[in-house]
Amino acid sequence: MKTFTQQLSLSAAIAVALSAPAFAADTAPGFSVLALEKAPASADVAALASQLPGLQADIVAVHEVQRAAGAIDPLQTLADKLGYAYRFVQADVDAQGNARGQVVLSRLPVQAESGPDHPGRSYLRVADGRNVVALYTDADQDANGMASLLSASRLGAPAVVLGGKARIDGFTATGLDSAASAGFADADVQKVALRDAAGKSLAARLLVLDYAEAAGGAKPWMDAALSADERTRLLLGEMTQDEKFQMLRSYFGLGKDGGPLPEGAVGSAGFVPGVERLGIPAQQSADAGVGVTNPGGIRPGDFATAMPSGPSTASSWNPEVAYTGGATMGREAWQQRFNILLGGSVNLQRDPRNGRNFEYAGEDPLLAGVIVGESIRGIQSQHVISTMKHYALNDMETRRNFHSVQIGDQAMHESDLLAFEIAIELGKPGSAMCSYNKINGIYGCEHPYLMNQVLKQEWKFPGFVMSDWGGVHSGSKAALAGLDQQSAGEVFDATTFFDAPLRMAVAGGVVPQARLDDMVSRILRTMFLHGNFDNPPQHLKIDVEAGFAAAQRTVEEGSVLLRNEGNLLPLAESVKRIVIIGGHADKGVIGGGGSSMVGITAKGTNAVPGVLPTTWPGPVMFHPSSPLEALRAERPDADIQYVDGRNTAAAARAAAQADVAIVFATQWAAESVDLPDMQLPDKQDGLIAAVAKANPKTVVVLETNGPVRTPWLQQVPALMQAWYPGIRGGEGIAALLTGKANPSGRLPVTWVVDESQLPRPQIPGLGFNPKQPPVDIFDFDIEGANVGYKWAAAKGLVPTFAFGHGLSYTQFAYENLSVSVEGQRLVASVDVRNTGARAGADVAQLYLKLPQGHTTPIRLVGFDKVTLQPGEQRRIRIDAEPKTLADFDPATRQWTIAAGTYQVQLGRTAAEPLQVVDITLQETAVR
């Protein structure tokens, strides 16, 4: 058992649970914006930081900010000093990387915001204790684009547009280069006397918009002009005790033991009845992380886009791809009557044998946190609540309901918990799902340290914690530890703990009424915030082509070209005879098993039925997207044949007669069971070796859960990792093989040679019907925070392919790396040039090499994906995540950058620095 800080007392735990949802500042009679006429210089930051708190402006806005590629914005430093949120809204950027745009600093908490789908403008939903404002910036001043963003996000809240010069229907100019909607009363603009460091005047004006009177009425909580906190307060006061308890447990939305669906359920993983008399809508929760599921076709006529797996999205290293994928899943969930999607899977890949890696986003906390955070933000842009799961350290599936993860506090924060924290900061998920497993001997759904102290107090998470299905073991203990809602306990748990047992505990004073009200408040507040009340889902036809486009883009950006000796790929026009071998590539592409499996799509269901296992966690799914047919469509001039690969000799003969042989190798993985080893199943290694011996021009396409052994690698000139590529897998793979798309995926995991390079080379009890009994302890202290490439660096291991590795059909050069540091901020800039003959994209990866003797040798601190035309050069900017520069101190509960000399490395992989700069960091506490 590891020692943490002292566990919270009961009274402290309740205080913690109640502290997060409400905004601490006094409720103001109006909304105020302080506009600075020009951006301050670095020397003026301290002076402004001393003056601004006295003004209590909700927003500080600066138009026409010029930000140099490698410079730290003084307004960012100002925000850090004040504890304000900072947003730079980019209007344009030149080839030297210098950007023009607007800056917004928010004193009020940012509850939701727009994603990368509206370039040049942004949406921030900010609120005090009673009032809410939808705040928009329009750096590009495009009225049409702004109208679209307003329609998608406002949800009836009073709104302010900053910087928009075009007329917007329903908005009135305020006299401060801004416009306000209804929901405000009088507007007042005043000059403000601010002074710079030299005592000279800084021109500024303060806009104050008084809030209009609340609408009131029989159901005042239905007033969208009020904040989610105020609406929740009003509604909670009208609820009976029975109605409150109704919110705390969901039913299995597919029915118990094959029986009828709960009344009102549409057919899903979870269902909470609404309260009609109060206007509370039902909660309809759908799996999962790669698309909206329809188990057994329980909803006739419903289908969804089967998105590529999590590692595919992570391999794109592109937040926009993740956001678009999330928005696709959220939109399709909403159109199938769901208001909660059980996505947002953040668990780190500590072992390639974990059966659920296909739902996750790799081994690095920064990359995983950013990619999953953007996916969550995309889901919630469609007014669907997203979960974040599985909290925490559910990194193996073997005996997941029983095993305990052993890990120290610092290592936990610097690895898995950091990924969750970054995902929360970016995505702001409405719910967190606690995990099945134990962490240092305590179940995830009974863990007061993780749920109350870390999640709700230290991270100020305002949403609600739901259990995983079958993850609850108690009533009062779980409630006091921070669990807010039990999921389908009547089917998956020993009993419905959050019904009669919790009622008795509240009645007897074991669980205070205040804790019960907090549990209900967190759920209601989340539903108000994400539009469940104001924009309820409807049953509509999904946009099939938009889903296909999002899926194929993910395949094309997320597939990784691992090897390409002699430039065998893309397939030359002179290649006329092609044989495709194995992997059921004539029918489709494989997908992962378990609750996340999307079994019904616009193109039908399983293309290869009957592959074992056909029962849970199966059936083994092949999505109907045939690489064979797609390649024939791309190359109608070529003779393309298929051989199933069951007869190795026949496959070798066919390969010998072809110009190029392409072997598709698959590995099925699923929830609830881990893979026994890293070997390709069904003797596929022998098939690949035989084909490569028969034809030296052999391409291997892997559709796997993660890294596998590659004993045939030196005989195979071209290798592509396609992960589980989803419903457009065939088309995406064909585009990459032919050069219609240029590979730009980079590995989100270290591709170890074999199990001997893992922290736990041998784990008893993995796989179906293991020969050895499984273990119930996973000692993660072996590697601690050194997951993946950090483990390789610490142990001097040379993997098959390094973290971040990936090839392209063009080449890139990097020059003139420069680094700026101020406080907790580190910004790098570098020139990137496409030196090849094709347009393509590369991922500039920024690593920090820590001083000699540090436990962790190297960390990814930032990245940027850049697309360039042949010969094009661009200077790019990479902002480091401050916590990746720092260490977590369990005693002070603080991230601190240690003073010392560090090396910043710009590379294509964690093991291949291309440019380096030595820097000196001062001791700094990260805010």
- Phi, psi at 419, each rounded to 5°: -60, -45
In this prediction, residue 21 carries a pLDDT of: 46
In this prediction, residue 529 carries a pLDDT of: 97
pTM, rounded to two decimals: 0.96
The runs of H, that is alpha helices, within 783-840 are 789-795
Query: What whole-number distance in Å separates Cα of residue 903 and Cα of residue 345?
Result: 32
| Digit-coded pLDDT (tens) for 53-78 | 999 999 999 999 999 999 999 999 99
In this prediction, residue 214 carries a pLDDT of: 84
Q: Which helix (H) or strand (E) holds 427?
A: helix 416-427
In this prediction, residue 423 carries a pLDDT of: 98
| Digit-coded pLDDT (tens) for 362-397 | 999 999 999 999 999 999 999 999 999 999 999 999
Specify the 3-state DSSP secondary structure of 892. coil
In this prediction, residue 142 carries a pLDDT of: 67
Rounded to 10 degrees, the C-alpha dihedral 32/33/34/35 comes to: -160
Phi-psi label, residue 279: left if phi above 0, alpha if psi -120 to 50, beta otherwise: left
The structure tokens 């019907």 sit at: 769
Q: Sign (positive/negative) of CA torsion 888, 890, 896, 897?
A: negative
In this prediction, residue 147 carries a pLDDT of: 85
| Digit-coded pLDDT (tens) for 215-245 | 889 999 999 999 999 999 999 999 999 999 9
Among the listed residues 749, 760, 779, 781, the one whose alpha carbon sits nearest the alpha carbon of residue 410 = 781
Question: Exposure pattern of 55-84 as b/e (b: 16+ CB <10 Å)?
Answer: eebbbbbbbebebbbbbbbbbbbbbbbbeb
**Residue length, the chain?**
927
The structure tokens 């190297």 sit at: 858
Q: Which residues of the chain have pLDDT under 70?
A: 1-27, 141-143, 165-166
Among the listed residues 508, 414, 373, the one whose alpha carbon sits nearest the alpha carbon of residue 894 = 414
Task: Look up residue 824 and give its two tokens.
Answer: 């907790």
List the 560-564 sheet strands across, edge first: 560-564, 718-721, 698-703, 660-666, 577-581, 639-643
Q: Are 316 and 558 in contact (CB under 8 A)?
A: yes
| Digit-coded pLDDT (tens) for 873-910 | 999 999 999 999 999 999 999 999 999 999 999 999 99
Chain center to CA of 688: 35
Query: What whole-number distance in Å separates Cα of residue 885 and Cα of residue 859?
Result: 8
